[in-house]
Chains A and B, each alone.
Chain A
Amino acid sequence: MIWILVIPLALLFFYAVSVYNFFVSSKARIKASIQEIGNQLKRQSELIPNLESSAKGYLKHEKGIFEKLADARKAINRAVESGDLQKMADAGAKLAGMLPDIKVVVESNPEIKGSEVVQNLMNELRDTSDKVMYARRLLIDLSADFNVKRATFPSNVIANMFGFSEVEGLKMDEAGEATKVTRESTKTPKVNLE
């Protein structure tokens, strides 16, 4: 008879332990994923001077590119030093935003477009901005999992019991430009293939 009481209690206990462990370990993973973003940005800022020096000969006349690259690198360095997640994310976006500019220069000049060094520069730049994007994705996914579990029944009971608060994840300016759809962005983008 006593088993009727003991077994459900034991199951309940194991459930509570596993949920508690989920919260604790995913907090640790979220912390690690923030470090991963910093790590990727650091890689990015170390990579850029290398790429610059190797492609300089080919892009002599395109000083603008190097100025932009240098700007992006400085911003990244500052962000990594400050350790502020938001600044890090912004700095990463800066480089990704530059890619189209560089592409325009490269595409418009068949001579440099054909060169392997410049192709390599493009590939590396794309890859490094992908890496930062995916590192951010990990943080977004982990904090979403955490917050969903914290808010849904029955795991929210355990979360409240031990006082787990919502994790912020990657902050987006909720009223800012990113959430607005302008008339411009609803139009089909025109691609000029000349």
Chain B
Amino acid sequence: MKNIYEVRQSNEIKSFIVIAGFFLFAAFVIYILTQTFGIYMGYQPGGFGYLGIALTFSGISTFVSYYYSDKIVLSISGAKEADRKEYFDFYTVTENLAISQGLPKPKIYVIDDSAPNAFATGRDYDHAVICATSGLLDKMTRSELEAVLAHELSHIKNYDMRLMSIVSVMVGIIALMADWLLRVRYFGGGRKNSDNEGSIGAIILILGIIFAVVSPIIAQLIRLAISRRREFMADAGSVEITRQPNSMISALKKLESDTEPLEAANKATAHLYIVNPFRGNIKGAVSWFSGLFNTHPPIEDRIKALESMA
């Protein structure tokens, strides 16, 4: 039996290992791909010139969506700001949870959709946004709502939006560079062989092409692993705020029993929802494999982790 402080600590350690591993992997892949580019294009390896271009491409788009993440919410169909009178529980619970964490109250919005779900976004505490669907607000009791919103507040508190943006930039860079390398190889193949580069050049070239094929998939898998880790962390954070694992468990059970996909969801923000908005829950033998491609851990696993705290 672990108490919430131990859970938080082990969560933080696991999270750190996954994230550190990802950055090492990304640095390594980018280095190999750059070297391969260098050899392939016929100049001495060692330059990071292509990295610069890839960084610019992938970075700008992610940075914009990260920086304006609170504004983008408004553009999602029908998200309107929740007022105290109409959404009394939603408003006051958010207010109370923010008091307990000493954070400014996030802006809160409601999406008119019967699929119960909620997400948080925003680049920092002052621009934080929590968005809930009307389905969630209808189906949850006040204490369950408290658990769900505390989960979202934990995402805000842990700067998950920032972390996932950085990780997405890295995945984007790897994918972009791998794509370029394969295109160059395919279209320009045979123009200039590596005969005159010596055997080391040839090895790097082969290695580079293998990396170009494999690394985008691996990078994506690690990104999703980080996302799942952060979900466990936000669940534990929710219990730390409300001290009521049971209300989180019953909220998750309610969410699990609902299989309606959320129409307003998009892939870029899927990792910030309380449960996977696409509802791709496959059970049985393929579930472990398909689980690798999920932004969220299976709800049963989350409930199990919460039960160990209760």
User: In residues 82-120 of chain B, which contact A (Cβ within 8 Å)?
Assistant: 88-89, 92, 95-97, 99-102
Partner of B100, one of A29, A126, A137: A137
Let me know if A130 is at the binding interface, CB within 8 A. Answer: yes
By the criterion CB–CB under 8 Å, are B102 and A29 in contact?
yes
Please tell me the size bucket of the interface on B: 10 to 19
Let me know if A118 is at the binding interface, CB within 8 A. Answer: no
Interface residues as binary, A119-146 with B (CB distance below 8 Å gives 1, 0 otherwise): 0000100110011001101100110000
By the criterion CB–CB under 8 Å, are B101 and A138 in contact?
yes
Let me know if A33 is at the binding interface, CB within 8 A. Answer: yes
Let me know if A77 is at the binding interface, CB within 8 A. Answer: no
Interface residues as binary, A30-48 with B (CB distance below 8 Å gives 1, 0 otherwise): 0011001000100000000
By the criterion CB–CB under 8 Å, are B102 and A131 in contact?
no
**What are the residues of chain B within 8 A of A142 when measuring CB–CB?**
102
**What are the residues of chain A within 8 A of B92 when measuring CB–CB?**
123, 127, 130-131
**What are the residues of chain B within 8 A of A36 when measuring CB–CB?**
99, 102
Residue of A nearest to B99 (CB): A134
By the criterion CB–CB under 8 Å, are A127 and B96 in contact?
yes
A166–B97 alpha-carbon span in the complex (Å): 26
**What are the residues of chain B within 8 A of A126 when measuring CB–CB?**
142
By the criterion CB–CB under 8 Å, are A138 and B88 in contact?
no
**What are the residues of chain B within 8 A of A123 when measuring CB–CB?**
88-89, 92
Number of A-B contacts (CB under 8 A): 32
Please tell me the size bucket of the interface on A: 10 to 19
**What are the residues of chain B within 8 A of A33 when measuring CB–CB?**
102
Known: A29-B102, A33-B102, A142-B102. A134 touches B97 (CB 8 A): yes
By the criterion CB–CB under 8 Å, are A135 and B99 in contact?
yes
Residue of B nearest to A137 (CB): B100
A1–B97 alpha-carbon span in the complex (Å): 53
User: In residues 239-287 of chain B, which contact A (Cβ within 8 Å)?
Assistant: none
**What are the residues of chain B within 8 A of A137 when measuring CB–CB?**
100
Residue of A nearest to B95 (CB): A131
By the criterion CB–CB under 8 Å, are A138 and B96 in contact?
no
A137–B242 alpha-carbon span in the complex (Å): 10
A126–B143 alpha-carbon span in the complex (Å): 12
By the criterion CB–CB under 8 Å, are B100 and A134 in contact?
yes
A126–B88 alpha-carbon span in the complex (Å): 12
**What are the residues of chain B within 8 A of A40 when measuring CB–CB?**
99
**B32 → chain A, closest Cβ, in Å?**
30
**What are the residues of chain B within 8 A of A135 when measuring CB–CB?**
99-100
By the criterion CB–CB under 8 Å, are B88 and A131 in contact?
no
A142–B100 alpha-carbon span in the complex (Å): 10
**B252 → chain A, closest Cβ, in Å?**
22
By the criterion CB–CB under 8 Å, are B96 and A130 in contact?
yes
**B11 → chain A, closest Cβ, in Å?**
17
By the criterion CB–CB under 8 Å, are A134 and B96 in contact?
yes
User: In residues 53-106 of chain B, which contact A (Cβ within 8 Å)?
Assistant: 88-89, 92, 95-97, 99-102
**A79 → chain B, closest Cβ, in Å?**
18
**What are the residues of chain A within 8 A of B101 when measuring CB–CB?**
138
- Which residue, of B96, B100, B142, has the highest number of chain A Cβ atoms within 10 A? B100
Residue of B nearest to A29 (CB): B102
**B1 → chain A, closest Cβ, in Å?**
19
**A117 → chain B, closest Cβ, in Å?**
14
By the criterion CB–CB under 8 Å, are B102 and A138 in contact?
yes
**What are the residues of chain A within 8 A of B102 when measuring CB–CB?**
29, 32-33, 36, 138, 142
Binding site for B on A (CB under 8 A): 29, 32-33, 36, 40, 123, 126-127, 130-131, 134-135, 137-138, 141-142
Q: List 12 A-B contacts (CB under 8 A).
A: A29-B102, A32-B102, A33-B102, A40-B99, A130-B96, A131-B96, A131-B99, A137-B100, A138-B100, A138-B101, A138-B102, A141-B100
Binding site for A on B (CB under 8 A): 88-89, 92, 95-97, 99-102, 142
With A32-B102, A135-B99, A138-B100 already in contact, 6 other A-B pairs whose C-beta atoms are closer than 8 Å: A29-B102, A33-B102, A36-B99, A123-B92, A137-B100, A138-B102
6 nearest A-B residue pairs (beta carbon): A134-B100, A127-B92, A134-B99, A137-B100, A134-B96, A130-B96
